[in-house]
């Protein structure tokens, strides 16, 4: 399982924003598939969306803005459960 810090995530999302704003000519597409964000404080990460979080491996004990947390709870509740690798 790949662990990623909030700083690394912020850099990834900044590149993704640049990629979108330049019609995919600069920057890189954000790939969070398989990233382990368990316990991460993501409240300061800019441009974080439900769509971007849908591909992560875990958000167990992660801190999110309340509105985003509610969206995760409603659409991807399995991401908030304790990963088997941490049991």
Q: Which residues pair with 63 in a beta bridge?
A: 41
- pLDDT tens across 2-52, in order? 677 778 888 888 888 888 888 889 888 887 777 788 888 888 887 888 988
Q: CA-to-CA distance for 45 and 13, rounded, in angstroms?
A: 8
| 36 alpha carbon, distance to own chain's centre | 9
Task: Note whether 18 and 47 are within 8 A (CB).
Answer: no
Checking if the pLDDT of 1 tops 70, the result is no
Q: CA-to-CA distance for 36 and 4, rounded, in angstroms?
A: 6
pLDDT confidence of residue 83: 83
Task: Note whether 80 and 57 are within 8 A (CB).
Answer: no
């Amino acid at each position: 399982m790949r662990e990623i810090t909030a700083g690394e995530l912020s850099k990834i999302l900044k590149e993704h924003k640049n990629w979108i704003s330049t019609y995919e000519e600069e920057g890189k597409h954000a790939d969070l598939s398989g990233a382990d964000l368990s316990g991460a404080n993501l409240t300061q990460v800019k441009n974080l969306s439900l769509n971007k979080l849908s591909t992560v491996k875990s958000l167990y004990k992660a801190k999110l803005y309340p509105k985003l947390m509610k969206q995760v709870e409603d659409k991807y509740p399995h991401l908030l459960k304790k990963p088997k690798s941490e049991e």
